[in-house]
Amino acid sequence: LIWPELDLISGNAIPGQCDDDRNLLLTSAASNNQWSSSLFSLMPSWTQKILFKRESSITHPLHEDLSRPSVTSEFGVTFQKCAMVSTQRDPQVANIRLLINNTNTPSASNLSDLVLLDNITGLVVQGSTGNQTSDGFQVFRKMFLPVGDYYAVNYIAFINAKEVKSNGNLTLPAQLTFNSSSLVFFYSVLFQPPNYNNNLISLPSLEVADLNRADAELEAHRGQICRDVIALSLKAMVAGDHLPPLLEKTMSSTFGSLFAGLDGEVREEYKRKMVALTAECDLETRKKMEIQARREAADREEAEELLNRVNEKSASEYRSLLDNLHRLEREHMQRCLLVKREEDFAKAYRQLAIFQRNEIHKIFFTQIKSALFKGELKLETAKTLLLDYSKRQGEIEELMDYLQANKKYHLSQRFASRECLIRNIRISESRAQGFLNTAAAQLISLINKTQRAGYLDENQMRILLDRAQAEVLSVRHKLENDLKHEKKKLHQKLMIRRRQEMLLKQKEHRKEQLSLDEATRTSKEIGPYLRQRQALLSDGEAASEGLMDRLDVTAAEELKGLRESLTEKAVEDLGRIRHGALAQELWKLDVPRLYVQRLLEEQSGELALRTQQLQQAERDAGQDARESLRKTRQKLKEELESGVAAQRELRDQERLVFTKLLSLPLSLSEEQLHEMKQEFHCCFSQLDSSLALPKIRTRVLLQNLQSEWIEAELLKLSQALSVPEVQQQSKMKKQRCKTRSKIEVLKQTVEDKIHIFEEPISEDIIEKAHGELLLERGRQVKAQENKLGEYIAALQFQKADKKSETFEIYTTLLSVQGLLLEELSMSETLTDSACAQILESRSSEIEELDRKLESELVHKESSRQQQAVLNRQRWISDGLGLLKEDGEMDSERQMSALLWQALKKCPRLIERHNQSLREELQSLVVFEDRLESLEMDVFLNLYSQDLRLAAYLSKLTVVPEGLLPRLLNFLLPASSQNELLPVLESIREKYSEDAGESDSNGEQTDSCRKRYERPFLLKSPSGATDNNNDWPRYVLQLPPEGQVSLWKKNKSFESIYSGVEHLMCHCN
């Protein structure tokens, strides 16, 4: 509904004036044309209905009362804006009121997500609760407005005299957007005037609106199921004595508060996005409408200069063609803006849905990590919780895939049924119209036959024809009035019945939902809960769709019966006129009675035969429509099964990708593994596709491709006009082009443009759009896989980079030791025997560390293999238990039944096997990290000892101030000062510690050993520190390959690079 103009009449009003008095000031002129002044009334997906007041004005002079009653839309919504201006103050004060009234009419429905944009340009608002924007608007939001309720906003504002126009008017637009039920829309389609092509065109917009609503419902169900599954997992852990009841209550309370906070955050973000997108789309629409208006004005101005020199007929024809072209251009632009707006809103909602899913995963993993860190949760209990969470998330995703496919199936079936109903109504209307036309034509035929028989002259015939046509028009006019009146009454009755039955069905579904929630609070089993939830939602969806389909069919049948009864009554009226008044007139003109009776009997027979033909044609068309509907339903059923299977296959493929990533040579700690699982669940939950977005995206692609085709055709036409001689194919065409006047050329050009805009979308464009949609879907899935692979690669690169950096610094430290020893040897500070003693002692210490490391590695490997054997035995026993869960088989059971049972259990066994494989790979990844931690501990021990020796040697050498930093810069040119500073500080610290010790207490190495308590520069991944108090007496200067013997024996450093290389190859 459009509100093209609203006059707000000002006067010396009192701010506290009664609301009823101020309501009288409202004046409104609502146009019946939906596109009379704005695009926004046909936004069906998010802002379903918009009341847009475009030309509101505050007029300073006091006018006489021009009030007209406010106009209520067909959806029962009244949007009013009025103001009173007090001119006694400077600046002048305006008391402004906005009112949204959801009237309690049969066609009304509950409204949600109301967004009110009020223009305050030129006003200084005082005491308003709206959020003011930088572009001169204030925004009011209301989440829900039931039928019979209203929402009012009152505020006072000072008027800026500079913004007031010269005529004393101040333009103040106001716009209301809201979501409404689509049921009313379908009934309005049924009861609109019989323009069924437009009705069929409107159905896709209705479908998009319902798909958006279905996405919101499914997302709400997903969030509730995830929360219930988390609560049930905690209860199951308590039942198994793995979790204290007090801790379960604490964690459940924490989860509840965090989830409630998440809901509030999502709601606020949703409001913010809706307001921002609405304002952005409105601004874009306004700009494009202005550009289109300027283009049209320029075309008219250019045409008027030419039309002044041609005759009136040619000018009128050209103006008509130009107006038609401009109308088609506007409609094309409006469709482009409409689908773009739908896409923007659908993408915004999808982003919010993904954000909410990821946040739920993040909350769960963060709370488990926090409980582990605080010591409230044991490591094994946390592992069990995470393992169960991963398993249940897979089941939830499969459940949601099925519910989404089932919802799509029912919605598609609903709209296919509605298309069939509309076509049947059109067939019925055609039959009734044909029946009426036949009866009306018989009046004319009776007069014509009588005249041709020679019983009437021309004058008598004309008089009778005029009377007959007047009677036919009278009957038709009465039929239209009766049909309009009765349809309105029927519409109201059906809407009341529909609302009552839908409310009753919703109450029944709500009771079932409450009973399931009550059972969830006492249950501890997740599997039965998911099955009950699936059955509840599936059965509720089927029952709801069955009810809606029955109500739609009932409405169509009653409308059809009403039309038939009124048409039959009109035909009877025409028959009475034919047998009564017309026959009497003919008899008065001395037409033989027997001749008239014979003609009347023949026409009665013809009418009966025509009626049978029309009824047979209607039955045949109805049979064809039902057969088409049956095939469509069968096709939708097949698409449901294939869609569920394809989505399951996609899920399995992503699990396989995750398994392959785990099989790469990775090393991850428990914490990193949990982070990787969280990232996998975030990617895994995004593999679905919303219901509305693919449909909207298809419309966008079709519209974009059609626009490109139109632009290309218009460009060809423009090029042909610029060089007309080149485009002619023969001399005759050239001659005709030369003799043609300019106005004829322009008329032909406009006609060609009109044909281009009226051209329907070709099959090639449709196929191209569907192909592009499939490619986009594939790219989305590939992007999720790459995202997961990049995340794992980043973890490995960080670890490899850290080790490489450490190894480089350690090698540099050994080089510094070698230089210091060489300097001490050349200065004869150390003797040859001392050097030999250093070599022997350091070699034995390294060998001892090597033996300890080998022994520890062998012990860890043995423990891992024993645990793997136990896990494998547990997995085998679980699989055998799955095979035996139905008990012993009857010996007389046929082999086919046994094979069928085995086939049914095969997928579950495969999933058990894959799960065991993933667990084993995860344990290997963690085990590899533990081995690297052991090796790092040994390496840090060596580094700490070499660091002390470097400090001791630098003390003996008496290194000048500043020489050591320059030496490190020379040996590590790629390292920054921040990376070298810890090494310098450690050497200086050791130097100062050794300098403060007395030589009388023993050797220098013994005093250094007493002062050392922790390693420097790095800490092992396991968090271990060097508590070894055995200070080595000497450090061996080994060749580079000898210094890294421990690294070479494990070869973990090379395996990291190899694993990362394989990982990146897989991601690419």
Element (H, E) at 178: strand 174-179
- Does the domain at 2-180 match CATH 2.60.40.1170? Answer given as yes
Q: What are phi and psi of 7, to 5 degrees?
A: -95, 120
CB 465 within 8 A of CB 507: no
Element (H, E) at 56: strand 49-59
Element (H, E) at 498: helix 458-522
DSSP letter string, 834-885 = HHHHHHHHHHHHHHHHHHHHHHHHHHHHHHHHHHHHHHHHHHHHHHHHHHTT
Residues 6+ apart with CB under 8 A from 1061: none
CA-based nearest residue to 523, from 235, 226, 230: 235
Q: How far apart are CA 516 and CA 694, in angstroms?
A: 33
Q: How far apart are CA 827 and CA 815, in angstroms?
A: 18
Instruction: Give the length of the chain.
Output: 1068
927's tokens:
């085990």
In the block, tokens 């219930």 appear at 228
49-59/2-9 β-pairing:
parallel
Element (H, E) at 175: strand 174-179
Q: How far apart are CA 461 and CA 718, in angstroms?
A: 57
Residues 6+ apart with CB under 8 A from 648: 398, 401
Distance of CA 14 to the CA centre of its chain: 49
Q: How far apart are CA 391 and CA 911, in angstroms?
A: 10
CA-based nearest residue to 7, from 51, 54, 76: 54
Q: How far apart are CA 901 and CA 411, in angstroms?
A: 34
What was the pLDDT predicted at 970? 66
What was the pLDDT predicted at 396? 93
Q: Which residues pair with 154 in a beta bridge?
A: 97
Mean residue pLDDT across the chain: 75
Q: How far apart are CA 154 and CA 158, in angstroms?
A: 14
pTM (global) more than 0.85:
no
Q: What is the mean pLDDT of each run of 10 residues along the chain (1068 residues)?
A: 31 34 31 31 30 35 36 65 79 85 71 79 80 71 80 86 66 72 39 47 79 92 93 89 89 93 92 89 90 91 82 84 91 91 92 94 92 87 88 91 93 89 86 87 86 84 84 86 89 88 88 84 83 90 89 89 90 86 84 85 87 87 88 91 90 86 82 86 89 92 93 88 53 45 82 90 90 91 88 86 81 78 73 68 71 74 70 60 49 63 70 72 78 79 76 71 69 65 63 45 35 31 34 34 32 36 40
Helix, coil or strand: residue 957:
helix
Q: How far apart are CA 1050 and CA 373, in angstroms?
A: 31
Q: How far apart are CA 39 and CA 11, in angstroms?
A: 33
Q: Give, in degrees to the nearest 5, the angle at Cα 699 between 693 and 703.
A: 140
Task: Judge if the upstream peptide bond of residue 15 is cis by omega within 30 degrees of 0.
Answer: no
CB 56 within 8 A of CB 81: yes
Q: How far apart are CA 1040 and CA 1048, in angstroms?
A: 11
Q: What are phi and psi of 10, to 5 degrees?
A: -100, 160
Task: For 640-656, give the secondary structure using H, E and C.
Answer: HHHHHHHHHHHHHHHHH
Element (H, E) at 589: none
What was the pLDDT predicted at 181? 46
User: Any idea where the domains of the chain sit in the sequence?
Assistant: 2-180, 801-880+905-1067
150-159/123-126 β-pairing:
antiparallel
CB 332 within 8 A of CB 760: no
- Tell me, what DSSP letter sits at residue 247? H
Q: How far apart are CA 649 and CA 654, in angstroms?
A: 9
